[in-house]
Amino acid sequence: MKAMILEHVGKPLVLVEREPPQPGPGQVLVEIAACAVCRTDLHVVDGDLPAPKPRVIPGHEIVGRVVALGRDVDQFRLGDRVGIPWLGTTCGTCGYCRSGRENLCDRPGFTGYQIDGGFATHTLADARYCFAIPETYDDVHAAPLLCAGLIGHRALKAAGEAQRLGIYGFGAAAHIVAQVARHQGRRVFAFTRPGDTAAQTFARTLGCEWAGSSAEASPEPLDAVIIFAPVGPLVPLALKALAKGGTLVLGGIHMSDIPSMPYALLWGERVVRSVANLTRQDGVEFMLLAGEVPLDISVETFPLDEANEALQRLRDGRLSGAAVLIP
């Protein structure tokens, strides 16, 4: 098998060849057809997330076919198409797991961080944490559903019943969430990097009724805002856009420092909350939703050995939609 591995944090990934691993009990070996590139992969590669597995293979938006089964796997058969997400395993015994909050597990394993991921031709996965993929999406367009879609779904649920929804950072997750929100009859307002007129045009084509710079004031008070960009200074700007009683959802796993701000921005029963990881139930719900909503997934494909280029394009904000690696 071929894989792009992280030998040194902050350095480009390195292409290596090794023997494919053999599945242990409860595991499946998956031949990868497509793996989307997520901002969390950047956080792993750039060192924003501490202590990744040594020589880890990044990538956690994986679509492929089962080519070998470990003992006691009964939910999949050889040849089945599966999706492998960020949440790769949980302990099942801590208080969070036992209370239906496995996304907060005390001893989790994350794909592409503590567990080798999808920047490769093959990968192992715990079968209990894999999902069936709606047949309406081919492999390339299904890959972004596994994180951009899933974390966007969880963030949208956290936003409650908001009818006027703002989204800061219009990338892979936002372009899926905006379509789901519009399908639900919500009004969507997109905020992009200053000067990024291409992203603003892209947002309008997906049904956003307003798109402008994050430095601009919202055209009207918003019931909820989701921030996908990992930029702490957006928090006070988003709070200014929120109506009283509104919710600000932070949709990333990492964010730069949030600057000090006057309490008046939070007063009025505004709520700030983060979204952490996902649960398997989130995955089940979203895959059903994705099968019902005709999502237009925007992708740009790269061969496996150009993973560093895809990461750099994401780092520079030069992508519309999602980058997807094709092994």
Q: What is the pLDDT of residues 223-249, one digit of tens each?
A: 999 999 999 999 999 999 999 999 999
Q: Are 204 and 187 in contact (CB under 8 A)?
A: no
- E strand or H helix that includes residue 65: strand 61-69
Asked if residue 259 has pLDDT above 90, the reply is yes
Q: Determine how many CB atoms are found less than 10 A away from the CB of residue 12.
A: 15
Q: What's the pLDDT score for residue 261?
A: 97
Asked if residue 100 has pLDDT above 90, the reply is yes
pLDDT digits (tens, 9 = 90+) for 110-160: 999 999 999 999 999 999 999 999 999 999 999 999 999 999 999 999 999
Q: What's the pLDDT score for residue 270?
A: 98
Q: What's the pLDDT score for residue 321?
A: 86
- 118 and 12, same domain (yes or no): yes
- 14 and 52, same domain (yes or no): yes
Euclidean distance between CA atoms 210 and 199, whole angstroms:
12
Domain tally, the chain = 2
Q: What is the mean pLDDT of residues 206-222?
A: 97
Asked if residue 163 has pLDDT above 90, the reply is yes
Domain holding 64, by residue range, is 2-147+277-326
DSSP state of 200: H
Asked if residue 320 has pLDDT above 90, the reply is no
**Which residues does 266 contact at the CB level (< 8 Å), separation at least 6?**
239, 272
226: closest CA among 208, 240, 210, 238?
238
- 164 and 136, same domain (yes or no): no
Asked if residue 183 has pLDDT above 90, the reply is yes
Euclidean distance between CA atoms 64 and 306, whole angstroms:
19
pLDDT digits (tens, 9 = 90+) for 26-75: 999 999 999 999 999 999 999 999 999 999 999 999 999 999 999 999 99
- 162 and 228, same domain (yes or no): yes
pLDDT over 90 percentage in the chain: 99
CATH number at residue 195: 3.40.50.720
- 197 and 265, same domain (yes or no): yes
Last residue of a domain, one of 252, 274, 296: 274
- 113 and 237, same domain (yes or no): no
pLDDT digits (tens, 9 = 90+) for 265-281: 999 999 999 999 999 99
Q: What's the pLDDT score for residue 162?
A: 97
Q: What's the pLDDT score for residue 206?
A: 96
- 89 and 158, same domain (yes or no): no
pTM listed for this prediction: 0.95
Q: What's the pLDDT score for residue 247?
A: 98
**First-to-last C-alpha distance (Å) of the chain:** 10
- 188 and 225, same domain (yes or no): yes
Q: What's the pLDDT score for residue 154?
A: 97
CATH number at residue 311: 3.90.180.10
Q: What is the mean pLDDT of residues 288-295?
A: 95
Q: What is the mean pLDDT of residues 213-221?
A: 97
281: closest CA among 269, 289, 293, 291?
289
- 125 and 20, same domain (yes or no): yes
Q: Determine how many CB atoms are found less than 10 A away from the CB of residue 271.
A: 14
